[in-house]
Amino acid sequence: MTKVTMTVNGKTVSGEVKGNTLLTEFLREDLRLTGTHVGCDTSQCGACVVHVNGEAVKSCTMFAAEADGAEVKTVEGMANADGSLSVIQQAFQDYHGLQCGFCTPGMVMSAAALLKDNPKPTEAEVRDYLEGNICRCTGYHNIVRAIMAASGQDVPAVAAE
């Protein structure tokens, strides 16, 4: 067992992990932060995307021990300090950017990572950035619209390529 200490959503947390404990297991099972989802567990779907030191990563494809000393942010850390939804989360609600909701935590975290680097992306850039996030309900259109709205830009009436 290895002792790990990291900052998760602003709080310092510690735990004992096995060598093969994935970051997503540490978040979900040890910290009980079950907002981060495991869809495929094979690095394809992106439901497990969290931020590690500000960068989007697939937490099912990183060991907890590798996050020792890191700043981790999960979807639980996305809301504003007063508990209201963040701009991105609110846009997902307003534009109905989810149906079953399983992919949403990863979509929100990827959207936040995109807008941090590229505050005014084009629709094509949004779609390209979401390459590693799979949604089986929405057909992506409303997710793209939500992200365009969250970036403060005009929202295409019918988003499609």
Partner 1 sequence: MYSFDIQRPTSVADAVAALGTDEALPLGGGQTLIPTLKQRLSAPSVLVSLSGIAEIKGVCTNDDGALCIGGGTTHATVAKEASAYPGLAALAGNIGDPAVRNRGTIGGSVANNDPSACYPAAVLASGATVVTNTRSIAADDYFQGMFATALNEGEIITEVRFPVPEKSAYMKFEQPASRFALVGVFVAKFADGVRVAVTGASEEGVFRWTEAEAALSSNFSADAVPAAPSGDGMISDLHGSGAYRAHLVAVMTKRAVAAAS
| Torsion on CA atoms 116, 76, 130, 104, rounded to nearest 10 | -150
Shortest Å, Cβ 132 to partner 1: 3
Q: Should residue 18 be labelled a site residue for partner 1 when binding is judged by CB under 8 A?
A: yes
Q: Choose the stretch contacting partner 1; rule: CB under 8 A; options: 64-72, 88-96, 138-146, 147-155.
A: 64-72
Cβ pair 48, 28 in contact under 8 A: no
User: Which of 27, 33, 47, 62 contacts partner 1 by CB under 8 A?
Assistant: 62
Q: Which of 11, 12, 19, 158 binds partner 1 (CB under 8 A)?
A: 19
CB 14 within 8 A of CB 5: yes
**Looking up tokens 């510690």, which residue turns up?**
14
- β-pairing, 71-73 vs 2-8, is parallel
Q: Which of 7, 13, 15, 41 binds partner 1 (CB under 8 A)?
A: 41
Report how far residue 103's alpha carbon sits from residue 124's, in angstroms, rounded to the nearest whole number.
20
Task: Please tell me whether residue 45 binds partner 1 under the rule CB under 8 A.
Answer: no
Q: Within 101-120, which residues bind partner 1 (CB under 8 A)? A: 110, 113-114
Identify which of residues 44 and 86 has a Cβ nearer to partner 1 in the complex.
Answer: 44
Q: Which of 5, 43, 80, 122 touches partner 1 (CB under 8 A)? A: 43
Cα dihedral sign for 108, 110, 115, 121?
negative
